[in-house]
Structure 1
Amino acid sequence: MGVTSERARLRDRLDRATAKLGSPAAVVDLDAFDANAAALAARAAGKPIRVAAKSVRCRALLARVLARPGWAGVMAYTLPEAIWLVRTGVTADVLVAYPTADAVALGELAADAELAAAVTLMVDSVDHLDLADAAAPPARRAAPLRVCLDLDASWRPVGSLHIGVRRSPVHSAADAGRLAAAVAGRAGFTLAGVMSYEAHIAGVGDAPPGRRLRGAGVRWMQRTAWPELRRRRAAAVAAVREHADLAFVNGGGTGSLAATAADPAVTEVTAGSGLYGPTLFDAYRAWRPTPAAFYGLPVVRRPSPGVATVLGGGWVASGPAEPSRLPTPWLPEGLRYKPDEGPGEVQTPLLGPGAAALRLGDRVWFRHAKAGELCEHVNELHLVSGDQLADTVPTYRGEGRAFLG
């Protein structure tokens, strides 16, 4: 069956399943979601996958994937989110991916021994330890606070050249050893893990559509940077282990899952975006998830025979301001934005061969550029199996939780 007919069948399934729903309608195709979860577990080759909650932002779907073989634990993006996920029974093992300066949440964590055992904080300097001590002095803690060292995974091939995201100042094995010694020497803390996220590998597509030269450059960079990271990560983990018995060494993301899982220094990997399959992962050669998350907007205007205008649509993803961050009108095929308008907050005119056949009330199905950011625009996700509506579940937003909003 060709790609065109497969997409036509997908449109028919989504339309049938959501025929009685209002708009916008955000949908997760459970068949694709489960298939992606199984494929990611296979790529992890036996190492447990910690699900990245930022890429899912729905408790029901976090619980669904955690019930599958190969998945264990959550990577949260804020401490209040981590506390909420533990208190609501989603998990008893949360790694907070980013450092916190939330004194109220630190105080709540430190006052509850069960929470303190379930949540691991991210640190990359002694200053983070000072913040925790100021919020909850060690003598007043119900239990020691678990911490994880954030090892900068970026590539520094020469001089001040830095390729990758700006995360942690802990770059070398010596840096990691010094911080590990400082944690080990502080009362009220337990050094539980090391994390290193290779964003320049996991988060950069190596086959961007229509950009062959960029793709070749990305592939060269990744081939060259990867061996250096493996050597440095192994040395850093060894330096940290001189000061603590680590419970885990975490690495990777959807875009580097198989390669990171093959690194002997890593004990667990992280993935989340691959469950939904947003458009940014269309630019990866190693593995492309099946698109599983969509949102449907109704056609409300036909200003001319070649233009169909939908209500809303400007759900732009974070990151550099470029076309790759725009949502993609996916179904029906043959749609494109009007260059001088693009996706708008209240209306989005669409051009192309697919526009001519659209009628008022028809749905256009979009794919978001990123995964979990879709959930910041809707209160509910409609779960579809085949052409049936299986369930409707709240997003974080639908439960009144906007951890970064």
Structure 2
Amino acid sequence: MNLTLTRQTMAPWDDPEDWWPALTAATHELDAPVGVIAVEALASNAFDLLDRAAGLPIRVASKSVRVRGVLDAVLALPGYRGILAYSLAEALWLAETCDDVVVGYPTADRGAIARLAADDKLASRVTIMVDDVAQLDLVDAVVAPGKRAVIRVAIELDASYRSRTLGHIGVRRSPVFTPAQAEALAEAVIARRGFRLVGMMAYEAQIAGVTNAGPRKAAVRAMQRASARELAARRGEAVRRVRDVADLEFVNGGGTGSIESTHADASVTEVAAGSGLFGPHLFDGYVQFTPAPAAAFALDVVRRPTDDIATVLGGGWIASGPPAPDRLPKVVWPSGLRMLPRESAGEVQTPLRGAAARDLAVGDRVWLRHTKAGELSEHLAAFALVDGGALVGELPTYRGEGKVFL
């Protein structure tokens, strides 16, 4: 089905005692596990991201969605432009209908490279990411320059923060850190036959992906401010140097958690965002925004081992990243339920304890939110769409369309 998003004036999710029972009622005929996208919450998040971007185009990070119907609906809104894909195979699939897909990570998928090189239309729509000439060598080894379409290329600049006291802060991505290194790689790309340098990217994970709300996070907020200042200067100089040797179409930066600081960097022409659309519980912990819980999943109670424990079937949908309690799904309804420390979220069952557990019966529904956004889609064939408390349709996930990219 086609999904249309409109700006919202109400926030019914702010009243959990009405919100979650309404989702239960809307999906009571669907068997668990059931994933739900609340259309009004998704729309609220989509427009909130646009407001935060303040006119800077948003490239949708598909990794954090993995539902083509949602990608299409968001890209139909003015202010969203293009997709940031996570694998070349995925990008080729999405480029069948989207004319601007940037792959956010380097690829060694020889089959996908061969398909890209053999199709002029796909080659004009897809941009691959590089941070090393070895990645260019791999493309040439698959299909020689004279026998393929020209490959669009973007350079990734490492956006991590190097603190004198704390050391490396951020994720380990590109080896290209200094403006001089970016310029040198740009020159290497444009000197190579069969490639065209069209963009740059720098993802500031230490700002976008680290929660900063609360009195105990003052040091985190200070680090993020310092990192934003350092990156603005370094990225600005790197972009200036690269633009001196290549006509760039875009400079991509940021993520859902860093839109404001990325927007303040004049060298950036677009921001990437995706997780903020679904509003997973990891994003409850930010000062600058509060997403609506647009995506959630429900499990059914199947046994009662004791009077104060209710056990649901499944639940072990653990998020990637450093193993810690914040990688677990968050039980949100009924309120007051908690996982058992010695079992936690299990592959086939999850016991829950709390006052509300005493009132749960076999067949009752429990609602949870995933830590991350797109990873939830990997556990489901489709999301049920609920709008205004009514079930209005469903949208297949990548997996439901038979696609498993990572």
TM-score, with structure 1 as normaliser:
0.96
Q: Secondary structure at the match of 2:359?
A: coil
User: Where does residue 109 of structure 2 map in the other structure?
Assistant: 102
Is 2:131 the counterpart of 1:124? yes
Deviation at 1:350, TM superposition (A): 0.3
Is 2:18 the counterpart of 1:9? yes
Query: Could you tell me which of 372, 394, 397 is aligned with 2:396?
Result: 394
Contact 2:13 2:293 in 1 (8 A): no
Deviation at 1:379, TM superposition (A): 0.6
User: Where does residue 237 of structure 2 map in the other structure?
Assistant: 235
Q: State the distance in 1 between where 2:285 and 2:236 align.
A: 29
Residues 12-45 of structure 1 show CA distances to partners (whole Å, capped at 9, x for unaligned) of: 2101210111110000101000010000011111
Q: Would the alpha carbon gap of residues 355 and 160 (structure 1) be closer, same or farther in structure 2, given more than 3 Å must change? A: closer
User: Where does residue 200 of structure 2 map in the other structure?
Assistant: 194
Q: State the distance in 2 between where 1:258 and 1:352 align.
A: 39
Q: State the distance in 1 between where 2:156 and 2:392 align.
A: 40
Letter in 1 for 2:115: E
User: Where does residue 76 of structure 1 map in the other structure?
Assistant: 85
User: Where does residue 155 of structure 2 map in the other structure?
Assistant: 149
Deviates more, 1:349-358 or 1:115-124: 349-358
User: Where does residue 4 of structure 2 map in the other structure?
Assistant: none
Deviation at 1:5, TM superposition (A): 7.7
Residues 54-108 of structure 1 show CA distances to partners (whole Å, capped at 9, x for unaligned) of: 0000111110111112111000000000000112x1x110000000001111111
Query: Could you tell me which of 179, 186, 195 is aligned with 2:185?
Result: 179
Q: What 5-or-longer segments of structure 1 have no aligned partner?
A: none
Letter in 2 for 1:246: L
Is 2:276 the counterpart of 1:283? no
Q: Secondary structure at the match of 1:162?
A: strand
Query: Could you tell me which of 251, 264, 267 is aligned with 1:265?
Result: 267
Contact 2:61 2:272 in 1 (8 A): yes
Query: Could you tell me which of 275, 281, 305 is aligned with 1:303?
Result: 305
Q: State the distance in 2 between where 1:74 and 1:135 align.
A: 25
User: Where does residue 372 of structure 1 map in the other structure?
Assistant: 374
Residues 260-284 of structure 1 show CA distances to partners (whole Å, capped at 9, x for unaligned) of: 1221100000100000000110111
Deviation at 1:366, TM superposition (A): 0.4
Q: State the distance in 1 between where 2:146 and 2:14 align.
A: 65
Contact 2:310 2:360 in 1 (8 A): yes
User: Where does residue 276 of structure 2 map in the other structure?
Assistant: 274
User: Where does residue 20 of structure 1 map in the other structure?
Assistant: 29
Q: Secondary structure at the match of 2:167?
A: coil
Q: Secondary structure at the match of 1:321?
A: coil
Residues 249-307 of structure 1 show CA distances to partners (whole Å, capped at 9, x for unaligned) of: 00000000122122110000010000000011011111111111110000011112211
User: Where does residue 384 of structure 1 map in the other structure?
Assistant: 386
Deviation at 1:157, TM superposition (A): 2.5
Deviation at 1:353, TM superposition (A): 1.8
Superposed counterparts of 1:57-76, under 5 Å:
57-76=66-85
Deviation at 1:207, TM superposition (A): 2.2
Q: State the distance in 1 between where 2:14 and 2:189 align.
A: 58
Superposed counterparts of 1:202-241, under 5 Å:
202-207=208-213, 212-213=215-216, 215-241=217-243
Q: State the distance in 2 between where 1:110 and 1:243 align.
A: 25
Q: State the distance in 2 between where 1:299 and 1:309 align.
A: 5
Deviation at 1:354, TM superposition (A): 1.9
Q: What 5-or-longer segments of structure 2 have no aligned partner?
A: 1-9
Contact 2:160 2:171 in 1 (8 A): yes
Residues 184-228 of structure 1 show CA distances to partners (whole Å, capped at 9, x for unaligned) of: 1111111000000000000100126xxx43x12211211111100
Deviation at 1:3, TM superposition (A): 9.9
Deviates more, 1:153-162 or 1:55-64: 153-162
Deviation at 1:162, TM superposition (A): 1.1
Q: State the distance in 1 between where 2:78 and 2:291 align.
A: 18
Q: State the distance in 2 between where 1:2 and 1:378 align.
A: 26
Letter in 1 for 2:94: L
